[in-house]
Structure 1
Amino acid sequence: MTNGGPGDSRPTRNERREAAREKAKALREQQRKKDRRNKVLLQGGLIVVAIAIIAGVGLIIAQAVRPPGPGPANMASDGIVIGEGMTAQTTAALQPDATPTPSTADPESGVVDIQIYVDYLCPFCGQFEATNSEQIAGWVNDGAATIEIHPVAILTSKSAGTQYSLRAANAAACVANFSPDSFYAVNAALFANQPEEGTAGLSNDEIKKVVADAGAAPTSSIDKCIDDMQFKSWVVDATDRALAGPIPNSDVPSITGTPTVLVNGKQYTGSLDDPNEFSAFVLQAAGETYSTSTPSPTDTPAPESTPAQ
């Protein structure tokens, strides 16, 4: 073994040991600083997450406890009445927890009263609409009939989680509130663009386009109403009222499905795709309510025989 002489520059064993201790001390100090930094970051992240959770829970609670607002104007009966010239009858908005005021037909006038309860996702409603909308519009426009449309949301759970039925009924209520004379056209447009039951349905933006293309305005107010689901509470309550009954001025105790079609209080249970059968029912209902000398709806084809009901 060779021992280093006086000129040997290599560190001694003690110096190497001291250097190792200093290096270990520096590493421990570096690790302690890193641990403190990670702890601060972790605590800060947990605080941010906690704040976000609290804010989210607070928003949910606020929405849940937020008192329902009034229903749409022009639907105090839970429906909108459209008469001669396709003009909607105006009413005040139904206040929360208030009882709807049924519309009243005038038997002395000879005007036929047609009421329809519709769900915008219901394929049978779409079928009835496609078959009879044009002839109903002719009767109403000429003043021979009025039509009262009641949007309900029975099929809210049948659109892949998007609640299309509820959103579409809310959109219809928005139109009734801001552009009532456009309601019949919008109602027809929603059915013309009806999605299949079980699908996600139209997005809010797509609904807004359908509404605007049908002529409803002001679009800014209606768009905000659709996005905010302004009349969601009213739609839910109106649907519950229709399902619970009774249905005013009719022989129907409650709504069990859609479409529910009433003519002078009598329920139509005939074909959904035969306009002549429905027009015959309208004539028969009118004849039972009014004298035979009272004019029936104009432009209605006279049936060769009246089917038994």
Structure 2
Amino acid sequence: MANETNGRLTKNERRAQGREQARLARELEKKREKRNRLLLQGGVALGVVAVLAVVCLVLAQSMKPAGPGPANMASGAAIFGKDLKIVESDPLQPGTERTAPKVNRDELPLDVTVFVDYMCPGCGAFEQANGTMLENYVGSGDITLGIYPMNFLDNASQGTKYSTRAANLFACVVDEQPDVAFALNMKLLSAEVQPKEGTTGLTDDELLKQAESAGAKLTTELRQCVKDVRFANFITSNYTSVSEAGVLGLAKGAQLLDVDGVSLQKEDGPQRLVSTPLVIVNGQQWNQTRDGSLESYLLKVKGELEQKNGSSSDSKKDNSSDAKKDDSSDTKKDSEDTKKSD
């Protein structure tokens, strides 16, 4: 009765209350542990699913057979001739090696190839300094110009692989709408469009806008080609080919500059691309420090070729003249012999 009056618990009641509180605490702890265990298991499961998804994606991409390359780029380069018209060629089939185009370097036009990455600052500077001049020389038929796109700066665009995507756009246009490919190349390397190295570069939609401003029609096929990055493997193989196996189509005995820009690569080894822009003129590397401006070098090579052909023509004329003189002498001699006989 005293406990009821004072409102205090007896010793047994306090003991019972303590046991009950301990029981409740144990149950709460068990529930908390169970909840954490379920969350952990769920997180692990989600992590496994995510890893499996990535693995499946990588496997799917690696197992996906490489499709044919773009039309008009069998050598790896898009080649432009007089009036900026593309030199047509069949698509490079999977497993087929790139082959250098057949050229006659004993006569005009000169054979010029430029190796580019559309994020490469040096490539942009080269195009901005020489693009209009090259456009004029190609248009007039004095040179053919090969544009060889690569993607060695893919890691310099914060994961967007801009070099591959821009080169893929160029390849898509060469494949589908080659008449505007020359203008697109100039635009992608212009100061107004080319992104700085280390940035994300243009989005696919922005690249398509540049293609449109160069004259391309944004057809469903072109949009899909850009979305799928259809020629990504082709562009990667382009770079692998010249950086490992060596540059195709060099003149016999030609040696490219090594990484120091001064010494030559080993004569008995593959002549690899080690820096850009790499410019090849009639099978020989042009280097501004060594050879002067590109235009002066082109005029020099052209002049030497014309002089050689002129000397050859003069020699033929001299030989023809000598032959005529010999024929005339023989005829005169025969006539004199006939008179004596009479």
Normalized against structure 1, the TM-score is what? 0.75
Which residue in 2 is equivalent to 1:257? 275
CA displacement at 1:223 relative to structure 2: 4.4
Which residue in 2 is equivalent to 1:214? 214
Answer whether contact 1:129 1:188 (CA < 8 A) is retained.
Answer: yes
Answer whether contact 1:156 1:163 (CA < 8 A) is retained.
Answer: yes
1:283 aligns with 2:281: no
Structure 2 vs 1, CA of residues 230 and 50 (structure 1 numbering), >3 Å: closer, same or farther?
Answer: same
CA displacement at 1:100 relative to structure 2: 1.7
Structure 2 vs 1, CA of residues 140 and 150 (structure 1 numbering), >3 Å: closer, same or farther?
Answer: same
Which residue in 2 is equivalent to 1:239? 239
Structure 2 vs 1, CA of residues 223 and 6 (structure 1 numbering), >3 Å: closer, same or farther?
Answer: closer
Which residue in 2 is equivalent to 1:268? 286
Answer whether contact 1:204 1:227 (CA < 8 A) is retained.
Answer: no
2-structure distance, mates of 1:293, 1:59: 62
1:204 aligns with 2:228: no
The one-character-per-residue Cα deviations of 1:126-160 (angstroms, maximum 9, x if unpaired) are 33322332232223334443222112334445556
The one-character-per-residue Cα deviations of 1:190-233 (angstroms, maximum 9, x if unpaired) are 1103344x432623344343333222333554444445433222
CA displacement at 1:85 relative to structure 2: 2.9
CA displacement at 1:39 relative to structure 2: 2.4
Structure 2 vs 1, CA of residues 270 and 284 (structure 1 numbering), >3 Å: closer, same or farther?
Answer: farther
Which residue in 2 is equivalent to 1:76? 74
- State the SS of the aligned residue for 2:2: coil
Q: Give the share of equivalent positions with the same residue, in percent.
A: 33
Answer whether contact 2:74 2:89 (CA < 8 A) is retained.
Answer: yes
Which residue in 2 is equivalent to 1:90? 88
Answer whether contact 2:251 2:284 (CA < 8 A) is retained.
Answer: yes
CA displacement at 1:288 relative to structure 2: 5.9
Which residue in 1 is equivalent to 2:137? 139
Which residue in 2 is equivalent to 1:304? none
Normalized against structure 2, the TM-score is what? 0.69
Answer whether contact 1:186 1:211 (CA < 8 A) is retained.
Answer: yes
CA displacement at 1:72 relative to structure 2: 1.9
CA displacement at 1:30 relative to structure 2: 4.0
Structure 2 vs 1, CA of residues 76 and 22 (structure 1 numbering), >3 Å: closer, same or farther?
Answer: same
Highest Rg: 1 or 2? Answer: 2
- Residue identity opposite 1:250 in structure 2: A
Q: Which runs of 5+ in 1 are unaligned?
A: 295-309
Give the length in aligned residue pairs.
Answer: 291
Answer whether contact 1:161 1:200 (CA < 8 A) is retained.
Answer: no
What does 1:68-217 correspond to in 2, within 5 Å? 68-105=66-103, 110-157=108-155, 163-192=161-190, 193-196=193-196, 198-200=197-199, 202-205=201-204, 206-217=206-217
2-structure distance, mates of 1:184, 1:30: 73
Structure 2 vs 1, CA of residues 208 and 282 (structure 1 numbering), >3 Å: closer, same or farther?
Answer: farther
CA displacement at 1:277 relative to structure 2: 1.1
2-structure distance, mates of 1:195, 1:5: 86
Structure 2 vs 1, CA of residues 290 and 123 (structure 1 numbering), >3 Å: closer, same or farther?
Answer: farther
- State the SS of the aligned residue for 2:189: helix
- Residue identity opposite 1:235 in structure 2: I
Structure 2 vs 1, CA of residues 31 and 108 (structure 1 numbering), >3 Å: closer, same or farther?
Answer: closer
Answer whether contact 2:112 2:279 (CA < 8 A) is retained.
Answer: yes
2-structure distance, mates of 1:161, 1:10: 72
- Residue identity opposite 1:77 in structure 2: S
Structure 2 vs 1, CA of residues 162 and 293 (structure 1 numbering), >3 Å: closer, same or farther?
Answer: farther
2-structure distance, mates of 1:288, 1:156: 45
- State the SS of the aligned residue for 2:188: helix
CA displacement at 1:270 relative to structure 2: 4.2
CA displacement at 1:186 relative to structure 2: 1.0
- Residue identity opposite 1:37 in structure 2: R
Structure 2 vs 1, CA of residues 239 and 45 (structure 1 numbering), >3 Å: closer, same or farther?
Answer: closer
Structure 2 vs 1, CA of residues 142 and 106 (structure 1 numbering), >3 Å: closer, same or farther?
Answer: same
CA displacement at 1:234 relative to structure 2: 1.7
- Residue identity opposite 2:251 in structure 1: S
Higher helix residue share: 2
